[in-house]
Amino acid sequence: MIRSLVAAKSGSDCRRTQLIDYLLALLGYQYERNRNELLQVWHGCVVNDFDHGCDEDTADLLMRLYERGHKEILRPLLAGYRYSDGALAEGLGTFYSEQLERNPQDFVSALAAFFPKQQRTICRMAGETDGGGMGPETEHKVLASLKAIGGEIATRCARGVRAGNQDADSANSDLPAEPQKK
């Protein structure tokens, strides 16, 4: 299977190459090389006016690697907030929210690599999630975890989460109510 994937990589378009890089990394074949190739494409989402096929699909592949235990990918995924919009912003916001809920210590540790304003923005995206905001139980759990972690970064992140969730709530309050079923 690995030989077939490596052979298929030559001459493939960017999207197919990314998928092959992901599969090879997942299989443990030259993990660092294949991960780095995905991260190089991801760099297109992180740097303004640089795009070599990076989009929400690239983010999804990296998120899947992260969720399979490749923790070194979290910081580059957090850096993706910079120029994300549309589907990419929704996907990242949801991912950030989920990671704050599941792995708050790892999330806060990765945030340390960013400036305070960037930390607030990333946490604000987590609070907004996909635009719908965190549910009350999730927000309570995340805020309690951040309080338990303590420190400036966790406090800043909690403020960002609250602000993002409030923004999502106020944006959604303008939507018409769901029709009641009889």
pLDDT at 53 over 80: no
Q: Which of 33, 59, 83 is the last residue of a domain?
A: 83
pLDDT at 180 over 60: no
In angstroms, the CA 92 to CA 97 distance is: 8
Q: Which of 27, 58, 83 is the last residue of a domain?
A: 83
Residue 182 in domain: no
pLDDT at 181 over 70: no
CB within 8 Å of 136: residues ≥ 6 apart? none
Q: Which of 68, 83, 98 is the last residue of a domain?
A: 83
pTM metric for this prediction: 0.85
Residue 36 sits in the same domain as residue 110: no
CB within 8 Å of 50: residues ≥ 6 apart? 43, 44
pLDDT tens-digit readout, 96-125: 999 999 999 999 999 999 999 999 999 999
Residue 107 sits in the same domain as residue 147: yes
Residue 41 sits in the same domain as residue 56: yes
Residue 50 in domain: yes
Q: 81: exposed, middle or buried (C-beta count within 10 Å: 0-12, 13-18, 19+)?
A: buried
CB 86 within 8 A of CB 130: no
Residue 180 in domain: no
Identify the domain containing residue 33 by its residue range.
1-83
pLDDT tens-digit readout, 71-87: 999 999 999 888 777 78
Residue 102 sits in the same domain as residue 74: no
Residue 79 sits in the same domain as residue 93: no
**Residues written for the chain:** 182
Question: How would residue 45 be classed by pLDDT, with cut points 50, 70 and 90?
Answer: confident
Residue 16 in domain: yes
